[in-house]
Structure 1
């Protein structure tokens, strides 16, 4: 649990830094998938919505960050 907590905190800080946003979002995606799965396996259905909403928001951040990276790379290729 301490390792997961530390990873969550580091990933939360990583989301604030543009350079590490994609990695942090990827790590959080796996953690949140595990949280949703754990709640479903142990029939804690009332606890599922919170990590599920965070998972969806996190996937959105990941997709936007990947799209921005793709645009930056295409601009660099055009300028070169």
Structure 2
């Protein structure tokens, strides 16, 4: 699913202004995910994150958004 050209442009702009990324070098980075999710508050990550108070609500909101997206016309 996409937001169409205008929506993707708006999302990219929002990410440029608001999203932050950092990284560290690690020989086996996949081993860190469970540990980080268990120790940090990462409300937008649903995988392995059922303990987060926002998990159920976010899962519901994402399901509603997917359903709404399926009902919309596909745009360029």
Fold conserved between structures, TM > 0.5: no
Q: Which has the higher helix share?
A: 1
TM-score normalised over the length of structure 2: 0.38
TM-score, normalised on structure 1? 0.37
